[in-house]
Every structure is written in structure tokens, then in C-alpha cells.
Amino acid sequence: MPVKPTERVLAIDIGGTKLAVGVVDSGGRVLESLRGATPQSIVPDGGELILRTLLGLIGELKTDPAQFVGVGVGCGGPMRWPQGEVSPLNIEAWRGFPLRARLAEAFPGLPVRVHNDAVCLAVAEHWRGAGQNTQDMLGMVVSTGVGGGLILGGRLIDGRTGNAGHIGHMIVHADEPLCACGAIGCLEAVASGPRLTGWAAEQGWRPGVPAQQRAGRELVDDARRGHPIALTALRRAGRALGLAIASSTVLCDVEVVAIGGGLSQAGPLLFDPLEATLRERLGLEFARGVRVVPAAFGQESGLVGAAALIVHPERYWAPGD
């Protein structure tokens, strides 16, 4: 059952560089939130250090913890789901870390639910964002990685292992490039921020600048100033996104695709080639009705989506406990 309007959810969003915690009410409003850096040091108890840092951040929230009716968590994948044993790609100190069980110990008597952070973004957009009036949508994040979540028939789709929504590993190229997952031609290997700036650098964009200093934001800024390689790079990403979205649309008959994440800030430089590819690759009438829109939430999407796991389990938490 949905929680009552006056109730408060403790929401947590865990990524490789930042930890965010907040209090979200049952209407999806973020009442307060705090952010901190994810500890990076690989010490023997590095995993415990991250958990202590997280609990410390929660302790700084002003809301009385006695008010919390549940704990919702979005975390980078992969994870064993719904057990919530997490092994985020970019948090090396957590490998099979029993995040859900440890938080359940810290908050006895409360439901604790953990899902993929990209899934939480999609859930936030469905609950209170760009997809709130549809039953069938795809939410995507295009940033350091490319991820997503599917809501079909008004419910979050989990799949066999809780990993549905991995649109970043749909195949968009025939013979290259090699993806970090081991496969060939994945969307993420073309359109993620690092792969995109890497490709642009190979073509001669910002020669001499070390790889880790070539940020996606600068690529977008350069494209806005008319830099031809930066423009081509964004067209290439837009085209790859368009191919994956076309295939997702015919397979799942979604009404809305909401795209968030840093690279979505490129606006028409990314969305125009995406849309052109989509129109070229969608022949069936039903599919041509799909709308691709920017995500409505920014940084808060992770917290809002995590809270939705607690507020609306009938839509967003199928495991039932």
C-alpha cells in the first residue's frame, strides 16, 4: 500500500564519486538533502569506511529518524537483486557488499529496498517527471555510462535478475568498438561520455590534453562554438542513441523516452541527430508516436526514484518485501 501523505522516506543515492542522502515525502518532494564525496582510498576496511561515511551523512539530516517509514536506495550496478549485494563498477572497495542487509541492521524495523541507480532515475521520471502521465516509458541516463530503466504497463520491469533496462549494452554497431563489458558494438562503447571524448581525441580534438582532463562538458562547449570534431562526435552519439531507442520502441511499444545525465545537457546538438535517426529507423505507425524528451529531474532523480521504491511498491518494487 502507498504510505500516508505525511510520511517521510530516507532516500540514498550512491555513485562512484558522490554519496547523496535526503528525506523525501510521499508526494515525491525532496524536503532536505546532503551530498558528500565517496571515499576513494583502498584500505583494508575501505568498504566499511564508505558505509560509515554514508551513515555519518544520514546522521546530519535534520529530520527525526523516528519519522522514517522506510529506506530507499539507488546504487551503481551490478548487484545481486533483490538481495542488494552490490559490486558497483566504480567503487572498488565494494565487491559483493551486503548493502541492503547492513542498512537493515542500521534501521531495524524499516523496509530497506535497493535498486540500480539508472533504474531509480527512470522510476523518478515515471513517478513525478517527464513520464508521469504514461504507462509505458524508458528512462535513460547518458553520462559516464549509459543506463536505463523500463516501466511497462505502469510497472517497473525488473527482468529475471533485476537487470532489465541495460540499454547501454544494446548492439548498435556491427564490428566495433569493443565495450568494457567484453562485447562488441554496444551503445555505451559509442555514446558514453568517456568513450565519446576518447573518440573525439583520436580524431584530433584537444591534442596534448591528458585523457582524464577531457570532460564531456568541454566537448559540448566546443561543439556549441562550432568545433567540427566535437559536432561530429555528438552526431555520432546521437545516431547511436537513435538506433538503440528505435529498437527499444518497436520491442516495448513505449510512449516516452526520457534522457538524463550529463551528456543530455548538450540539447539539440545531441537530440537533433538522435531524432533524425529515429525518424529514419521507425517505419511502423505505432512506433512513430514515441516522444524523446529530456529528463525532468536533474541531480535529485536518484533520491526521488529511491524513495518511490518505498512509497509505491505496488508499481516499483515487485519482490514484495
Which positions touch its own copies (CB under 8 A)? 78, 134-136, 150, 152-153, 155, 157-174, 179-186, 243-244, 246-248, 250-255, 280-287, 289, 318
Report whether 262 contacts 269 (CB < 8 A): no
Cα-based angle 18, 206, 243 (whole degrees, multiple of 5) = 70
CB of 90 to its own copies, least distance (A): 16
Is the CB of 42 or the CB of 318 nearer to its own copies? 318
Between 89 and 211, CB nearer to its own copies: 89
Of 174, 168, 172, 175, residue with least CA distance to 194: 168
Task: Let me know if 123 is exposed, middle or buried by CB neighbors in 10 A (0-12, 13-18, 19+).
Answer: buried
Which of 172/223 has CB closer to its own copies? 172
Least distance between its own copies and beta carbon 115 (Å): 13
Task: Give the shortest CB-180-to-its own copies separation in angstroms.
Answer: 8
Q: Smallest Cα–Cα separation from 31: which of 13, 54, 8, 12?
A: 8
The residue (of 43 and 181) whose beta carbon lies closer to its own copies is 181
Cβ-proximal residues to 258 (8 Å cutoff; 6+ apart), any chain: 122, 125, 129, 130, 131, 137, 138, 139, 140, 293, 294, 295, 296
**Beta carbons of 127 and 312 less than 8 angstroms apart:** yes
Q: Whole-number minimum distance, CB 195 to its own copies, in Å?
A: 15
Shortest gap between Cβ of 303 and its own copies (angstroms)?
A: 25
Closer Cβ to its own copies, 2 or 283, answer by number: 283
Q: How far is the CB of 266 from its own copies (least distance, A)?
A: 23
160 vs 225 by CB, closer to its own copies: 160
**Sign of the torsion formed by the C-alpha atoms of 103, 105, 106 and 107:** positive
- Closest Cα to residue 122, out of 251, 317, 319, 304? 304
All three cell numbers of 204, joined, read 584530433
In whole angstroms, the minimum distance from the beta carbon of 300 to its own copies comes to 26
Q: Which is nearer to its own copies, 26 or 192 (CB)?
A: 192
